[in-house]
Chain A
Amino acid sequence: MRPENYQSVNHPPSNEFELFFGPNHPGIEGNYALKVRVNGDEVTSARADGGYLHRGFEKLMEGRLWIQNIALVPRICVPDPVPMEVCYSLAIEELGGIEVPERAQWIRVMQLELSRIAAHLFTFGGHAATTGMYTPMFWGIADRDLILDLFEELSGGRVYHIFNIPGGVRRDLPPGYLDRVSKTLDYIESRLPDYDNLLFTNKVFVHRATGVGVLNQEQALEWAVTGPNLRATGLDFDVRRDDPYLVYDQIEFDVPVEQAGDAWARALVRRSELKESLRILRQVVAKLPSVGGPIRAPIPNPLAWNLPAGDVYTRVESSKGELAYYVVSNGGDKPYRVHVRGPSAMHAVQVLENLVTGARIEDVAQIMFSLDACPPEVDR
């Protein structure tokens, strides 16, 4: 009684053996798998085995109305859903020629940065847990919950908000919301030294992460690496600054860059980015009360909304890397074609396979978490 994938295979005699790393494995990020060939402790070859989370998003979106897809897109990347909504909304607004009110843009930036902080805190926890330190994981998840509370107050949902719609945002901020945001920011900022003490200057973590999964700049560009992983190789590129969308051109922030390109550098870039996100949020909180006006541009009846024919490509910087949507309309009420350019599909397949090869078996999980790939987005 063996299914075809359980047939015993006659390998040529060697010292290697094949290890199934996932999908049911605590060291793997989500429902994803790696088939690793190991010689002793050393990985000789690796093969990414995705598809466990495939739902056929791009096909599903062709069968739904423009507005219905807003509820569908955040499911593509579960830990960081806001950039999905915003990027898709930006695409539709560009296609339909809708001007988003300024207040809605500032609220969107606030959500994007809150989501980035939440995703980075989650990643710190996961990365620390793969090196055997479980306290940062508990801390990160607990601190992330404070941000989820803010989201819940704003939109009613902890994880999926569906708050950004084409034309703006669903509703205005509740009274006293900005005070609570700044209180949470104060708290997270006061926690940063604790994280430094516990994780980023911890000898165990530094020794485990330094020199692991080294990616140089040429390889990174060749393998379509984006986001914090690219900035960890020394390339100074951030979509928020170099191709600004929303109101990022009115906000002051730095783009943290590290040179080493290993797991340690990637963790440091994320840590600095968290601080920059706090800085951006402070500016947003200071600016938002003075920005009045509507929160939503009028859109036609969304149930019978035919967007003009054409195609559009919009991109935003999500916490995982560069996220882009290519949307084609043929003048109908549904998209003709939607392509999602997710960052994790590159990070978790070709980059992970190449970085894992030659590494030691205990570093496989760490490399995967340091690349911060998001399996639902890989498979889509």
Chain B
Amino acid sequence: MSTLKNIPVVSHEKPSGGTGNLLANVFDELMAFCRSRSLFMLHYCTGCGAIELPPAMTSRFDMERLGIQPMVTPRQADILLVTGYVSTKTLKRIILTYEQMNSPKYVIGICSCTVNGGMYWQSYATAKKLNDYLPVDMYIAGCMPRPEAVIHGLRELMENIKKGESDNWRDYYRRYDHYLGNQQRLFGENWQTPTDIIGEARHYDLMGPETLGPHTALLEQHQTPLKPFEMTLGLADLPVRKDEPR
């Protein structure tokens, strides 16, 4: 799979494309500005880089003045901060979390370990390049990066969002086969997530030339079809109060 085709290419689609009506472009720019100014960061400490986040978030470096706040649930978060090395077990959770987040979403890889494995390059337990499994918008290198570096990286991301250049989340839909292939190579060929990425790509018109491929075919072969979830309460067996009418 190490062909040139698999190197991710960031497609820059500026909101002020020139076509379409002017009002829509202005509105898009305004939206991008607002979006860059209120970022919620998922509260998930994946590795050792998480130790520099409390100083960055609290009184000394104070990330909140930039409009960045930690958020506890993935569904309301915009940024997934991958702070440091990801072991195989964590990577599964990161992918599940990432797929639950609402678009537009951004991934930041903090520490050298997310770039190329860092000092665990020979470890049997960690995933080496985060970019193989998730589309990364920004890398902040260092072991570990200082809070200033983290804030600088987040400011760069804000600029990119404002200019409309940070849209790697589309890449995950357009090149899902590539990412899924790498995930399958690590987790085994029956790897599947509860999120229907292909269905979402169809729904939001984000299908690309590499959304479907051999790996998604393998996924369809292995996946158990979604069934409507029925909640059954074994009321007859539950211990209930005796005076309560059945």
Contacts and interface: CB of A to CB of B under 8 A. Distances in A.
**Size category, B interface:** 35 or more
Chain A residues touching B, range: 35 or more
A23 interface: yes
B90 A79 contact: no
Contact of A75 (B119, B146, B193): B119
A75 B111 CA distance: 13
A376 to B, nearest CB: 6
Contact of A142 (B45, B59, B144, B237): B59
A291 interface: no
Chain B, interface SS category: loop
A26 B125 contact: no
B72 interface: yes
B47 interface: yes
Contacts of A60: 120, 122-123
Interface in B1-57: 42-48, 50-52, 54-55
Interface string B70-103: 1010100000000001010110110001000000
A159 interface: yes
B55 A79 contact: no
Interface string A39-77: 000000000000111111001100100000001100100
Given A141-B58, A159-B51, 14 more contacts: A2-B224, A4-B190, A13-B238, A23-B93, A31-B90, A55-B120, A56-B125, A71-B119, A75-B48, A75-B119, A144-B55, A145-B55, A145-B60, A376-B48
13 contacts: A1-B193, A4-B190, A13-B237, A26-B70, A26-B72, A52-B46, A52-B89, A54-B89, A59-B123, A60-B120, A60-B122, A75-B48, A159-B144
Interface of A: 1-4, 6, 8, 12-15, 23-26, 30-31, 51-56, 59-60, 63, 71-72, 75, 78-79, 122, 125, 137-138, 141-142, 144-145, 148, 158-160, 376, 379
Interface of B: 42-48, 50-52, 54-55, 58-60, 70, 72, 74, 85, 87, 89-90, 92-93, 97, 119-120, 122-126, 143-144, 146, 190-196, 223-226, 229, 233-234, 237-239
